[in-house]
Chain A
Amino acid sequence: MINLTAVLSQDFTPADLPAAVRAALGKPLRRAAPLTQLALVGALACLPPERRSRPTILLWQSTSGPRLETLTLLDEVCSGGAEPMPYDFLATQPAIAAAQIQSFLPGLQTAMHLPLDSEGMANWSLLLSLAIVWLNEGRCAQVLCAQLDHAAEAASSHWLALSRGPLENSPASLQLVKDTAGTSLPDTPDFPARLAEWLAANDSQTLSLHSPVAMKLTVEFTRL
């Protein structure tokens, strides 16, 4: 059985984010782009220290991507007439986030970044389907699924942590099902926040994730 082990949503102002990193690590994370900082703070909040060495896969999507960093890079390349500062280029490469957080999450064995192509839509359905498939295969012990975004004024992250096998205090289990008739939620970037509301409301026993590009099976959560 695949269990949901954490549901988390975080919001930061740009000024607060480095402080949140310091609070999580006990030290600053130098030369880390905002997406990396968001990833680190969220991942550590989802996984208690005793689970950080377990084989883990990180799947994260983003609408904004490294937009601000890309604008800086474009300005340097097109307007500056010189080569960019290496850090400015590295900050536009979201894959680097995983490399920078691996030392704090030693079990992190692979990561995938899935940039989104439309505002207001997300692909939690695909992230969770891959997570369920890979957990059932035994490819890893836990999967972190995330939506990370940052803009000039705010940064936000939404997280779902999944684990193979039962864990104490898991609020729900997940599975892929053919037909769902109960409550459903749309596949939006803030889906974890809506899922948390459903868990807190304690009404229907199951909840499905409705994706406009649904595959043959649907992700269904069952309250435990």
Chain B
Amino acid sequence: MTRPVFIANSALLCARGDSPATVASTLWNGECSAGQRKLGERAFPYFGLPLDEADWMVRAEQALRQVAGQLAPVSPETPLFIASSSFQIGHFEQLGAPFDLPAATASFSRQIGEWMSQSGARTSFSNACTSGFSALDAARSLIAAGLIDDAIVLGVELANDSTLAGFAAMELLSRTAGRPFDARRDGLVLGEAVAAVHLGAKPATWRIASLRTGLDGFSTTGPNPDGSRIADVTVDCLKEANLKAADIELIKLQAAGSPGTDLAEANALRSVFGQHMPPLISLKPSLGHTLGASGLAELAALLACLDADKIPATAGFSKVDPEIALFPMVERSTEHVERALLNLIGFGGGLASLIVERQG
């Protein structure tokens, strides 16, 4: 049995707003301001959630309940697929030593299920930046095969110093802003997000036309600069969707402003799309890189933009890098898009390409 899988609903809480439609509106208006997060003597730009609560766990509960409310109504038995790269590590930072970590590494997922009033099967995914699409791939495969009828796929990435410090220690963070594909790009800007999609077999506006994940073992922190593995995944994704490169009308880039990864992605896109490069957009200069939640946060935001036929300009880009020689959209567009490709390129070699297609 194989059947199409649709995105019935989506939910999003991130620095740009508290629903997909709100986020799409603020993106359209060009809002891209970031806050700041301090780490010792250093401060980094940071896209935090619009929540004032100081207690990490209470704040997490507020965020999760807010997103669950956006998805309602959903049967409490609906299987829940949870993606995160850091789970509740920020909570343990706040509690301080001695660190009483639970024996089961994803125990936070049980708490998430309770907050969202979901009592069905729970599965957690932690594949760094590609966690969200790994979870999406598993859920949509099971629905397509008739093993489950619907699923909530949730991405959760909440503030913590451990991730920020880890990226800072490797000099991967920008001190100013994310500048995708720009000649002056100098690193990532991190952020928080909680995002979800409700998948099902019942027809809805957007269908998952294909999704492929991959692996680039070139190094633990970035892909092969030639982009060959990224291109392989995108080609596989096009094949599964039975589409040609020319059928893609918009690409949501991974591009976060990382010197090496942006170059690899550009090389991959050139090899797949050649002279027929679709319009390119990056959402990370406005949302931040929300790591394990990024796939779902950017999917929810992009679909809301496409539903409104309002594709925002990419912030942070002004100077073409001759080595990359590609540029994201710097002007807003009201083009009606039927098919979009979304790329993820993760820490640890994870890769993913997703194609969504408008129905009817």
| Residue ranges of A at the interface with B (Cβ–Cβ < 8 Å) | 62-67, 70-71, 73-79, 81-86, 89-90, 92-96, 98-103, 108-119, 123, 126, 129-130, 133-134, 137, 176, 213, 215-217
Contacts and interface: CB of A to CB of B under 8 A. Distances in A.
Given A86-B166, A129-B142, 11 more contacts: A65-B106, A77-B161, A90-B221, A99-B348, A108-B217, A111-B350, A114-B124, A115-B105, A116-B124, A126-B121, A130-B142
B85 A63 contact: no
B126 A94 contact: yes
B138 interface: yes
Contacts of A102: 215, 217, 349
A115 B212 CA distance: 21
24 contacts: A63-B105, A66-B105, A67-B101, A67-B105, A73-B162, A83-B39, A83-B165, A83-B166, A89-B166, A98-B350, A99-B215, A99-B217, A99-B348, A110-B212, A112-B138, A114-B125, A115-B104, A115-B126, A117-B108, A117-B124, A119-B104, A130-B138, A133-B145, A215-B142
Contact of A65 (B105, B137, B161): B105
B146 interface: yes
Interface string B199-234: 000000000000011111111110000000000000
A34 to B, nearest CB: 14
B239 to A, nearest CB: 11
A90 B220 contact: yes
What is the interface residue range for chain B against chain A? 35 or more
Given A74-B92, A119-B104, A133-B142, A111 B215 contact: yes
Contact of B127 (A67, A76, A112, A126): A112
Contacts of A216: 146-148
Nearest to A65: B105
B162 to A, nearest CB: 5
A70 B147 CA distance: 35
A16 B110 CA distance: 34
**Nearest 7 A-B pairs (CB), nearest first?**
A65-B105, A89-B166, A102-B217, A99-B349, A213-B121, A95-B348, A115-B106
B249 to A, nearest CB: 26
B54 interface: no
A115 B124 contact: yes
B170 A86 contact: yes
B360 interface: no
Of A65, A76, A134, most B-chain CB atoms within 10 Å: A65
B346 interface: yes
Contact of A74 (B99, B120, B212): B99
Contacts of B166: 73, 83-84, 86, 89-90, 92
B127 A64 contact: no
Nearest to A108: B215
B322 interface: no
Interface in B102-159: 103-110, 120-128, 130-131, 134, 137-138, 141-142, 144-148
Contacts of B218: 99
Contacts of A115: 87, 104-106, 124-126
B215 A64 contact: no
B168 interface: yes
A96 B128 CA distance: 8
A115 B292 CA distance: 13
A98 B106 contact: no
Contacts of A76: 165
Nearest to A125: B121
A150 to B, nearest CB: 11
Contacts of B105: 62-67, 115-116
Contacts of A89: 162, 165-167, 169-170
A74 B89 CA distance: 8
A120 to B, nearest CB: 9
A65 B131 CA distance: 15
A42 B137 CA distance: 25
B73 interface: no
B89 A70 contact: yes
Contacts of A213: 79, 120-122
Contacts of B124: 114-117
A93 B130 CA distance: 12
